[in-house]
Amino acid sequence: SCLMSEMTDYGKEFQNMIFVAGHKVTTDPLAVPFSMGRNLICIHSKKHIDADPDTKAAKQKDNLRAMSAMLKSFKQGGALLWVAPSGGRDRRNVETGQVPIAPFDSKTIDMFRLIGNKSKVPTHYYTMAMVTYDMCPPPDSVEAGTGEARNIRFVPCGIAVGDECESVGGLETRHAFCDHAFAQCEKDYQALLKAIEG
């Protein structure tokens, strides 16, 4: 949101954006400075929620509070929420060196559509493709802890907001919505890569 506040005509909107993120953004030494002063709703990811059985119940309770906070934001209207529907950072394919977009988690998208429907307030969905991998590449494998080795680089980045994704249908068409959102994001991602590579 820092970049978007500086580089667009929507500075106020981006300053008020609510980021839905994993709990590591509040504990990872590299992420903490970028999380400070941001509107965060943290969710314990399903990848890490079972890591410590002693804290699983508390994490699940935290997640229920986060869902309630999101529903409240939707009901108030005018909220701008950002979520990574693949659950986090895209990772490099070590064989090809390419950085594909990670598949979207249809359950995550379904959850946001359900919250939007429950709010009884018109909800709009947009994709946002980002080419930022080379700026601060994550490790090639997922690590449960924090403090992983990272290198920050000065490189070109790109961000593209896609057309509105119409939220139609129920359970029988939920995968179609997810597939359409992914295709839109992939199209914009490839266009950004092409523009950056010149």
Query: What pLDDT band is residue 120 in, cutting at 50, 70 and 90?
Result: very high
- What's the pLDDT tens digit per position in 148-161? 677 888 999 999 99
What pairs with residue 83 in β-bridges?
20
Tell me what the pLDDT averaged over the chain comes to.
83
Tokens 């909220």 found at? 79
Tell me the angle at which helices 106-119 and 56-76 cross, rounded to the nearest 10 degrees.
50
Tokens 């290198």 found at? 151
Indicate the residue type of 100: P
Distance of alpha carbon 128 from alpha carbon 162, whole angstroms:
6
- Calculate the alpha carbon distances from 165 to 19, 63, 64 in Å: 19, 26, 27
Q: What percent of the chain lies above the pLDDT cut of 70?
A: 87
pLDDT for residue 187: 96
Distance of alpha carbon 95 from alpha carbon 125, whole angstroms:
34
What is the DSSP-derived secondary structure letter of residue 37?
T
Lowest-pLDDT choice from 5-19, 71-85, 158-172: 5-19
**Which of 43, 51, 34, 30 has its CA nearest to residue 147?**
30
- Say if pTM beats, i.e. exceeds, 0.85: no
Query: What pLDDT band is residue 15 in, cutting at 50, 70 and 90?
Result: confident
Distance of alpha carbon 105 from alpha carbon 62, whole angstroms:
21
- What's the pLDDT tens digit per position in 131-187? 988 888 877 776 655 556 778 889 999 999 999 998 766 667 778 888 889 999 999
Residue 4 predicted with pLDDT over 80: no
